[in-house]
């Protein structure tokens, strides 16, 4: 797989597996570059961690913030570091890089490896009237208020 693959569940699963691989040597960036690109912002990180939780829990999303944070803390430090998450400082990851506010997260959503993307992580305020939304299938996207409200209620 190259870093230019079109995102779908199989790419997401390969990313999750790449997180668990040891760091390799060689040029071209390899898995580290892929992981870094897929986790460019906190919204990416939280969305990817949510999907990782789903893959390890029968495709069911975390029921609440405490359970989700416990799951993240249980990951190996090297996995978190490769994603750009500082072990021991999860609070920093749960806030938007753009508006610095905590994310709105939809808890307990079921995943479906063959289904449509579902909106799971939302910027609270956003920038210039637009907010970023993270989905079960990357990439996140910027939306206007009407679509934001619809996604927040329905998820897709």
Residue 95: inside a domain: yes
Task: Indicate whether 1 belongs to any domain.
Answer: no
In a domain, 4, yes or no: no
pLDDT band at 155 (very low <50, low <70, confident <90, very high): low
The 3-class SS string of 42-103 reads: HHHHHHHHHHHHHHHCCCECCCCHHHHHHHHHCCCHHHHHHHCCCCCCHHHHCECCCCCCEC
pLDDT at 28 over 80: no
* Structural domain contains residue 2: no
Give residue-wise pLDDT tens across range 68-91.
999 999 999 999 999 999 988 999
Indicate the number of domains in the chain.
1
Which range of residues forms the domain containing residue 100? 9-20+28-154
């Amino acid at each position: 797989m190259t870093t230019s693959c079109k995102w779908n569940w199989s790419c997401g699963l390969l990313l999750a597996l790449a997180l668990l691989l040891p760091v390799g040597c060689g040029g071209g960036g390899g898995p580290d570059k892929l992981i870094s690109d897929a986790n460019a912002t906190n919204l990416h990180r939280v969305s990817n961690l949510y999907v990782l939780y789903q893959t390890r829990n029968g495709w069911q999303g975390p029921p609440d913030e405490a359970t989700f944070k416990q799951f993240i803390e249980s990951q190996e430090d090297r996995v978190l570091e490769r994603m750009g998450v500082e072990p021991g400082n999860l609070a920093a990851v749960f806030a938007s890089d753009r508006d610095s506010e905590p994310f709105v997260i939809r808890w307990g959503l079921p995943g479906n490896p063959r289904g449509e993307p579902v909106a799971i992580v939302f910027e609270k305020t956003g920038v210039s009237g637009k907010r970023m939304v993270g989905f079960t299938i990357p990439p996140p996207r910027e939306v206007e208020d009407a679509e934001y409200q619809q996604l927040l209620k329905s998820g897709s």
